[in-house]
Structure 1
Amino acid sequence: MLAKSDSTNEKEMATTLKSTPAPSAESSAEPVLAEVEYVLSENLKDLSDVDTQLETLLERLDSKDWLVVLEALTNVRQLAIFHAELMQPILGGVVQLVTKSVKNPRSALCKTAIMACADIFKSYHEHLLDILDPLLLQLLLKASQDKRFVCEEAERTLEVMTLWIPPQPMLQKLQPYVKHNNPKIRAKASVCVYNSATRLGVEDIDQIGLESLLKIAAAQLNDRLPEARDASRKLLLYLHVIYCRNSPEITISNFPESEVPTSKQDHWEQYCFKSLPAATAQAVLRVTCVDS
């Protein structure tokens, strides 16, 4: 099976297949050879028979024939882009079966399913929150694996997720994964936390609590993987800027009169020591005082 990055024959589907069946019944168990082309969302064309494709979609997504599933995943992408409202009533079943394909060890199927996830995120936003958890875990796992072209696709899709799903509920979904036992999952989740947090408005930060975000960022500062540490540092710098703007909408604890800071940086130092253990606060200040 050969994966090709350029689109030489754009048809109705996102994935063009050329299969060579086994020559006889005796050899029918042998794998089917196929060329798979991955088409970008903007190059996809609308379906010609929407009703028929939609009616059979769940059945085809659950087929034992991977070529049938591959075509169905392309139809998911087309429906999400051109007919999102028509697929919404079966969205839960679609996401469940797309998640199943993301888990599939066949790389072409897995990558196409991940591409379908990106189109689903762009179309359904907050409507995915109640059904997101199993898919989120699989995307974090795929972004953590060694197979580069699947890993990179999963990373792109996670970025799309943080752009299109509202940041406040997205951060709540991500919090368990920044504490995950797998350091690679922690690292990918930390990147997602940073991407989502930087989309928060002042009112959102006030609702979540700047202190809560500070603790999430600080917890990854000494993580095993550089990717997690880098995301933590970037988030700390972002929170430092937000704090130093001293917006009235952000609730900041009052200090005793004898401890009133003489500068914004002093104020930040005292805030860190009040919010974090001393050693963690020192680590945060080393990042925000030196790099800011």
Structure 2
Amino acid sequence: MRATLLAALALAGGPAFAKPLDDLQRADALVQTVGWKLSHANARFCTRAAPGIGLILQDAQTFDDPAGARAAYGLTGDIAIAAVAASGPAARAGLDANDTIVAIAGTPVTTVPMARKDRWARVLALQTTLETTVANKGEVALMLAGGRTVTVHGEPACRVRFMLDDGGGNASSGRDDVRIGRGLFDDAHGDETLVAALAAHELAHAALDHQSVLEANDSVAVVRKTEREADRLAVWLLANAGYPPEAEARLARTVLSRKQFIFVSATHGGWRTRAADIEREIAVLNAAPDRDWPLRFRREIQP
């Protein structure tokens, strides 16, 4: 996929500005945008929250043709910004996709070596450094190619990293990360509210620490409860972020209904059942005096 996108860029004559240039970067940008909106709006409710800036890095060495990637995206080094959240602190500080990064918090990015067997290890380590610096200090200084340094001040967010998985078809999450598979993303056809619904379901898993639940008991019955909780909590997360909570039910009807062979009914429930559960939760949300979900949300699993 990445090689194909680079070939298309080369035929187009390459970039003129540091903006999202292709479908991959536009998808990255949308995932960052919805992820930031959801995590920032729900930060006061997340048990694991920290300042964030709404930015994800990229490494030209993760592409099939690193030199081609640098040329196509106009990079002067391997490490650059892959995407920024449209409404996030990084964007407001003037950072944009394809800005080449020379140093993070005063440390040159070249101090992190490229791993021999894992081409993603370096950029993930640098991303962790960036996020940890913001979480601990409330800000991070990024030196760009040309010597300009931009200091970005973090704002409250759930401490969860949002990423587009270009090689994946599904979506997944852990304690501190959400991955949206390119297959599911494409099925949303660029509809921001549907992508937000995908991200909200996965953020719900992280916010409720379902990973710990499943490490203790990963029976089908417990997995089913975690999926039902994620469907229901997503409604609250969407509403707090200014998205229509009905988007979660629309996701079930328009996207998940076509993916039933992936989302096994025994663990996830059929799409009709999921849509009905979501609609009932929307009624609960609308009847609640506020959207304080740690107080109002009914857990099916006792932590």
Higher relative CO (Cα under 8 Å, sequence separation at least 6) belongs to 2
User: Whose Rg is larger?
Assistant: 1
**Counting strand residues as a fraction of each chain, which structure ranks higher?**
2
Which bracket does the TM-score occupy, shorter chain normalised? under 0.3
TM-score (norm 2): 0.26
